[in-house]
Structure 1
Amino acid sequence: MARKHRGRRRAVTWAALLVWLIGALTATQCARPQSPPALQVGLAYGDRLVWMSDRQLAAALDDAAAVGARWVRADLSWADIQPDSPHEYRWRLFDRVVRAASARGLHVLPVLAYTPSWARPVGCAADKCAPADPEAFAAFAGAAAQRYAPRGIHRWEVWNEPNIPVFWQPSPDPVAYTALLRATSLAVRRADPSAGVVLGGLATPPTAGQAISATDYLAAVLARGGGRFVDAVGYHPYTYPGLPSAATAPGMAWARIDRTQDSLHGLLAAHGSADTPVWITEFGAPTNGPGTASDGQTASDGQAVTHVTEERQAAIAADAVRTAHRTPYVRALIWYTERDLGTDRSSNENFFGLRRADGSAKPALGALRHAIAALRGA
């Protein structure tokens, strides 16, 4: 009997030692610094891809692949898909974009947005009008998820810059947007349980007039439970003529990701969503327009600084990749855009491209490509 008891004691001792060793190894592994998640990099095209010729589409997406992007962000406009009624879908143009992106190994982030005339509120005449019925918009979103999940699309951004009146008319309304976000998220996830939803990329004006700041808007959405329906928050922290890495002052857009008292991350944490990342779904710098250009060093000549030199754009592009990689809560950086929209200098909106309107490359094309390559080689 005594011998049997000693055997049991030895068995218990060895079992206890094994448990201790497993615990020590686990603790050691947990104590090791964890590598940050890989930064997802992409190019944003707005509504342009669907209207390009086959040759233009191929050239645009070839640029995305060549620069090292993994994502393309493109509008999937409800007004294009169901222009006449809720009973007919016209998927052909976006199908072509999806096929071309897939052939190059690119993921598509569709922006679900923009209202056909039959679905707008009475008296609102633009496609940027908020839908009269969130459930009708959600039905469109669910149909899109059902169609494109088998083709590899599992991430969806709900609207673009809903906090400014340019894109949410007649005026921004976080209550109405939260209702739209909830209905859309539920419909997309019913169609594709693996889907992820990105809160529509927020612009960065102060709260004034009809515009609502990104932080005030996000706070209102989160207060109404909107955080439960998203996997990431879209944000558009344009910093030009400054570099993202230098944007530490409280008023700078990049700082509001996680460095200010009312930061996006702070708001998410306060509402129980500290693990929700930020996706920068637009970022860039224009190289022409009215006013004067900045090289980041020289003072303006008395005119308003509305754009940067091409060399400064290249510096901003490279710095954005490095800074996004170092910003803990940022998981995606999507550059706007691949090519200038035109040559009309009355608006700087025409000059955000990595290429000029004639197709010639700006220095930023190579700078962005080299920065992405260096990031992946690190």
Structure 2
Amino acid sequence: MKKKSHISALLLIAILSFSCVSKSTALFVDNFENDTNPYGWSLVKDSGATGSFGFEKIGNNTVAKLNYDISNGGSWVGAQKSIQIVPKNAKGLRLQIKCSATSTAWIFLTDSTGRCFRHRLSRSLSDLDEMNWFNITLAFSTTPDSITGGVFTPTIQTGLKKITVAIEPRVSNMFGRDKWIPQPKGEMWFDNIEWITDFDETLHLITNEKDTISSTALWNKTGVCTHFEHGDLNKPDLITSLGFKCIRGDLAWGSVETKKGQFNYSYFDSIVKVAENNKLRTLFILCYGNKLYAKNTSDGLVSTEQITAFAHYCATTVRHFKGKDVDFEIWNEPNHPWFWLPKPDAIDFSKLLRVSIDSIKSANPKVTLISAGTAGIDWGFINTLGENKSLTGLDGIGVHPYVDGSPESISEDLICLRHLLKKYFKKVPKEWSTECGAISSKYGNGLSDSAQFCQARLDVRTILANWMVGFAYTYKYEFFCKGDSVDHQDNYGIIGFDMKPRPSYHAISTLQLLTENRLLLGRIKTQNTGAYALQFKGKNDNLLVLWTSAGKLVKDEAGYTTRFILPKKPICIYNYLGRKIPIPDKIKGQWILEAGGEVIYAVLPD
């Protein structure tokens, strides 16, 4: 490789990573070292879009460059190349890209029948600096985001005939809002497109222990969402047994002000007492309407009377809990139609937020206060709050990074949010992941064993991903299932409605037990962006946490596994549920461990 991608700081601290050694010689589709373009690249674009394709010299290297402009229509611009011969053993592609945080890169793969498999490309969780190049790995077995020109199949079934590298601006239009494009014009550079013939990773242990973070520090900022009204704190030992150190739940306006101007916090005092007795920090959500002032509790608060009364409730509440281990979040998912009727409006919410922040900080300037967690990382909604000067005074930015794909794909929305927030802060506050996690009903019958095992695999990866990107706090949604139906709202929990632990409970418990009393040294550098290897240092050993972001969760799902070549013979190996796995035989002098969509733990000697 002629240039190295940036190795970003894990958990926002500088952690040294070591490069893997590729066993195979690179088989280039193109490395653009011939300026006369002999390989047949051509500009292609969506109807209405304009752009250009060419080459640029960066140091001693020649790279490809795309410019796009969709000011007058269209959505993307790309460079396309016809493929004459595909190596028989090719399993995917690798390339290097540089583009703005407000752009999204794509690869389109067109087969011999004319079907186009479109893959949205996500940065690795270690590549969150938009000023740097980043590597992308795409396995042909990966399920595309969409297919045009034919019947949907999860992977290419016939010969690959064309490769298109495309760029489009990021678009904010969650929940049917009007489309907003932060930058309709932009550019992208790409280079070193090569065929992948294997997904092997030769791992080298990190030896630099200068910049580390203890697992205790990580778990101190990891918690769970609770519903106090359902008795979630009746068994606090179940929460603490998982290593969780904080809880989040509603302190609804209507539950404490039942007569205008009169407040009763006795119920929530008891919650804080139980939490403090169990060394749990509480995040209260100051939320929702009050029927003394609005027809429905889910109505957006827009009148002067409503905003003034809500701000008074916020200030009174914060003043009441002054000196306690309590933080506050203003509202929950105001960008979602369920929580701001008749429909979400960022400008309306910004007015409520601005007055509430001022009122709260007047009551207690030292209180930790974060903005409402948005459904998803809704950078467009949050940007509108910033434009309306409603973020000043906050100590954190709330987000709910639920994703349809892998937990690691939060990188693209997160880097865009961080880019936009720089406009409104000299020192940007950290994001709080106040809801996250998987739901079993996404994988069929949410009560089935197979669906719950998928949830467990993803819940562990979600926590690890949240740690890697440096969220200030992470709250798994949720602790107890609210019902015993197959409805999706009843299948987020890690404890079933029958009070029995679900597989997620055991998976998170395994993560906690194996990382306990260890130091996180960082992510071991891998050449394939979907291959993750985290190293935790123990007193006399090292714990490797291994998985593949595009790996299979179920047998028939598209995806691939990574063959991790370990530097030493493992002492023991565990699966994501804590069950021991046989140590593999040494093959040609190597210990090889395969990991797909589920986390595998390998304990190695020093």
Is the pair's TM-score, using the shorter chain for normalization, greater than 0.5?
yes
Please state if 1:195 is matched with 2:367: yes
Write the distance in 2 (CA, Å) between the matches of 1:267 and 1:105: 36
Q: Give the drift of 1:177.
A: 1.4
Q: Give the drift of 1:188.
A: 1.7
Write the distance in 1 (CA, Å) between the matches of 2:505 and 2:478: 10
Q: What are the ranges of 5 or more consecutive residues in structure 1 without an aligned counterpart?
A: 1-31, 205-212, 248-252, 295-306
SS in 1 for 2:392: helix
Please state if 1:182 is matched with 2:354: yes
Q: Say if 1:134 and 1:180, in contact at 8 Å, map to a contact too.
A: yes
Could you give the per-residue CA deviations for residues 85-123 of structure 1, whole angstroms, max 9, x where no partner exists?
Answer: 322112122111111111100000000001111212xxx
Name the residue aligned to 1:76: 251
May I ask how many residue pairs the two structures share in their alignment? 302
CA gap 1:36/1:58 in 2 versus in 1, 3 angstroms: same
Q: Which amino acid aligns with 1:314?
A: A
Write the distance in 2 (CA, Å) between the matches of 1:143 and 1:36: 37
Write the distance in 1 (CA, Å) between the matches of 2:229 and 2:364: 24
Higher strand share: 2
Q: Say if 2:354 and 2:391, in contact at 8 Å, map to a contact too.
A: no
CA gap 1:119/1:201 in 2 versus in 1, 3 angstroms: same
Q: Say if 2:434 and 2:475, in contact at 8 Å, map to a contact too.
A: yes
Given candidates 280, 290, 304, the residue that maps to 2:433 is: 280
Q: Which amino acid aligns with 2:371?
A: L
Please state if 1:337 is matched with 2:478: yes
Please state if 1:110 is matched with 2:284: yes
Q: Which amino acid aligns with 1:150?
A: G
Could you give the per-residue CA deviations for residues 49-74 of structure 1, whole angstroms, max 9, x where no partner exists?
Answer: 1453xxx6321x22221111111001
SS in 1 for 2:292: helix
Given candidates 404, 408, 412, the residue that maps to 1:255 is: 412
Q: Say if 1:63 and 1:338, in contact at 8 Å, map to a contact too.
A: no
Name the residue aligned to 1:87: 261
CA gap 1:33/1:200 in 2 versus in 1, 3 angstroms: farther
Q: Say if 1:344 and 1:350, in contact at 8 Å, map to a contact too.
A: yes
Q: Say if 2:479 and 2:495, in contact at 8 Å, map to a contact too.
A: yes
Matches within 5 A, 1:1-378: 35=212, 38-39=217-218, 40-45=221-226, 48-52=227-231, 57-59=233-235, 61-83=236-258, 85-120=259-294, 125-131=295-301, 132=303, 133-153=306-326, 155-204=327-376, 214-240=378-404, 242-245=405-408, 247=409, 253-258=410-415, 263-288=416-441, 292=444, 309-328=451-470, 330-345=471-486, 347-373=487-513, 374=515, 377-378=518-519
Identity %: 21
Write the distance in 2 (CA, Å) between the matches of 1:375 and 1:267: 36
Write the distance in 1 (CA, Å) between the matches of 2:354 and 2:213: 30
Write the distance in 1 (CA, Å) between the matches of 2:374 and 2:516: 26
SS in 1 for 2:350: helix
Name the residue aligned to 2:524: none
Write the distance in 2 (CA, Å) between the matches of 1:190 and 1:350: 39
CA gap 1:171/1:236 in 2 versus in 1, 3 angstroms: same
Write the distance in 2 (CA, Å) between the matches of 1:185 and 1:274: 18
Q: Give the drift of 1:34.
A: 5.2
Name the residue aligned to 2:102: none
Q: Give the drift of 1:152.
A: 2.6
Q: What are the ranges of 5 or more consecutive residues in structure 2 without an aligned counterpart?
A: 1-208, 520-606
Write the distance in 1 (CA, Å) between the matches of 2:277 and 2:253: 25
Q: Give the drift of 1:243.
A: 3.0
Q: Say if 2:407 and 2:461, in contact at 8 Å, map to a contact too.
A: yes
Write the distance in 2 (CA, Å) between the matches of 1:86 and 1:34: 53
Name the residue aligned to 1:5: none
SS in 1 for 2:241: helix
Write the distance in 1 (CA, Å) between the matches of 2:238 and 2:360: 30
Write the distance in 2 (CA, Å) between the matches of 1:308 and 1:219: 39
Q: Give the drift of 1:359.
A: 0.9
Based on CA coordinates, which of the two structures has the bigger radius of gyration?
2
SS in 2 for 1:111: strand
SS in 2 for 1:150: coil
Q: Give the drift of 1:353.
A: 0.7
Write the distance in 1 (CA, Å) between the matches of 2:240 and 2:287: 26
Write the distance in 1 (CA, Å) between the matches of 2:450 and 2:394: 35
Q: Say if 2:407 and 2:462, in contact at 8 Å, map to a contact too.
A: yes
Write the distance in 2 (CA, Å) between the matches of 1:101 and 1:215: 32
Q: Say if 2:481 and 2:490, in contact at 8 Å, map to a contact too.
A: yes
SS in 1 for 2:308: helix
CA gap 1:255/1:104 in 2 versus in 1, 3 angstroms: same
Q: Give the drift of 1:228.
A: 0.8
